[in-house]
Amino acid sequence: MDCSNAGNLAQRGFLNANGDIGADGKTIYLSFLQQPNGTAKFYELELHRSDLGDPGRMGGIGNDASDTNVYLRVESPSGGSSTFYSMGPGSTNVNFYVMRIDFKAGNDDVFVYRNPTSASEPLAPMLAVSNAGDMSFDGISLAAFVNSRTVVNDEVRLGATWADVVGNTGPSQLQFVGRTNGFTQLQVAGAPNYSYPLQAATNLTGPWGNIGSVAVSSLGVGRFDEASASDQRFLSRL
């Protein structure tokens, strides 16, 4: 990860005194897709600090146990001492994971969501571990080993909010269709069955105000008619 003083993480206050992601009082979200070719050990997406090998591993999601469940691993900073928190049976399907870490003085809190479908953070995570350990990290490693185990990981995202890492909730297109009978017609292409709030302003610098929302159909397209006395309008979606 870019943990330099000039990087985005440092500029937004996410780095602690050691230069790792994990400033007290900050929350970070990490999401990814994972598909192992079997559910027995070993496969894992790992968080690391200072070393991308085993000595730097701080935690991860996968399986390094004698069964076929999927686990959140939290490892002692001194190495060689892992605590595994089960999330139930593993799967060779593509699974979507969101990990939330609340950094605080002392040990940090970890929340894990498996295959969430909500555009907002669910009230109840699949797994919640209070005071899990020092979860500050500066790198991510993708690992698989033992018994020809392979794993595919994709779409690894890091962000400050749920929306940053869940994705697929922003329209790929906000298109002006035309103006008819006093209405400005807009077409939105976006996530199926999702509703997008819209804002408008008479100047690009604002002030911006809510004008309604557009509901996208199951086909991924929605239409919005906005009544305005002005033909000079700037429009944006949230």
User: What would the two tokens of residue 204 be?
Assistant: 């690009």
Exposure string over 133-172, b if 16+ CB within 10 A, otherwise e = bbbbbbbbbbbbeeeebebebeeeebeeebeebbeeeebe
Q: Which fold has domain 8-166?
A: Jelly Rolls (2.60.120)
Question: Would you tell me how many other CB atoms lie within 10 Å of the CB of residue 110?
Answer: 22
pLDDT at 144: 92
pLDDT along the chain (238 residues), means of 10: 89 94 96 94 94 88 95 76 93 94 94 88 92 93 90 91 75 63 74 73 75 78 72 52
pLDDT at 125: 93
pLDDT at 238: 46
User: What would the two tokens of residue 227 be?
Assistant: 């009544």
CA 149 to chain centre: 26
Q: Where are the domains of the chain?
A: 8-166, 173-237
pTM above 0.75, yes or no: no
DSSP annotation of 68 reads S
